[in-house]
Amino acid sequence: MTKKLKIVVLAKQVPDTRNVGKNAMTPEGTVNRAALPAIFNPEDMNALEQALYIKDQNPGSEVLLLTMGPFRAADIIREGLFRGADGGVLLTDRKFAGADTLATSYALSQAVKKINPDIILAGRQAIDGDTAQVGPQVAEKLGIPQVTYAEEIQEITDTKVTIKRRLERGVEVVSCTLPCLVTVHATAAPCRPRHAKQVMKYKYARTVTEDTAEGANYLLPLSDYPYLKITEWGTADVGGEDSSYGMAGSPTKVKKVENIVFQAKEAKKLTASNEDIDSLISELLANHTIG
Partner 1 sequence: MANFYRDNSDLKFQFKHPLMGKIVELKEDNFKDFGKYDYAPANVEDAIDSYDRVMEIIGEICGDVLAPNAEQVDHDGPVCANGRITYAAGTQQNHDALTKAGVYGLSLPREYGGLNFSMVPYVMAAELVSRADAGFANIWGLQDCAETIHEFASKEIKEEFLPRINKGDTCSMDLTEPDAGSDLQSVMLKATWDEEKQMWFLNGVKRFITNGDAQIKLVLARSEEGTTDGRGLSYFVYDKAWGGVTVRRIENKLGIKGSPTAELVFKNAPAKLVGDRKLGLIKYVMSLMNGARLGVGAQSVGLSEAAYREALKYAHERVQYKKAIINFPAVYELLAVMKAKLQASRAILYETTRFVDIYKAYNAISEERKLTPEERQENKKYSKYADMFTPVLKMMSSEYANQNAYDAIQVHGGSGFMKEYPVERLYRDARILTIYEGTSQLQTVAAIRYVTNGSYLAKIREYEAMEFKPEYAALKEKLVAMTAQYEQACEMVQGKGEEYIDFHARRLVEMAAHIIMSYLLIIDAQVDESFARSAEVYTNKSEAWNNERASYIAAFKPEDLAAFSAIKEEYVAEEN
200 binds partner 1 (CB under 8 A): yes
Q: Is 220 in the site for partner 1 (CB under 8 A)?
A: yes
Under the binding rule (CB under 8 A), the answer on residue 286 touching partner 1 is no
Binder of partner 1 out of 22, 197, 255, 265 (CB under 8 A): 197
Residues 222-251 close enough to bind partner 1 by CB under 8 A: 227
Q: Can you tell me the distance from the alpha carbon of 269 to that of 280, in angstroms, rounded to the nearest whole number?
A: 11
Q: Does residue 216 belong to the site contacting partner 1 (CB under 8 A)?
A: no
Candidates 3, 95, 164, 201; binder of partner 1 (CB under 8 A) is 201
**Which of 115/189 has CB closer to partner 1?**
189
Residue closer to partner 1, measured from CB, 149 or 202: 202
| 34 vs 219, beta carbon nearer partner 1 | 219
- For residue 97, what are the CA distances in angstroms to 45, 61, 140, 235? 24, 32, 22, 11
Residue 164 engages partner 1 in binding (rule: CB under 8 A): no
Q: Which residues of 29-63 are buried (b: 16+ CB within 10 A; e: fewer)?
A: eebeeeebebbbbbbbbbbbbbbbbbbeebeebbb
Give whichever of 34 and 196 is closer to partner 1, judged by the CB atom. 196
Residues that bind partner 1 (CB under 8 A): 19, 192-201, 203, 219-220, 227
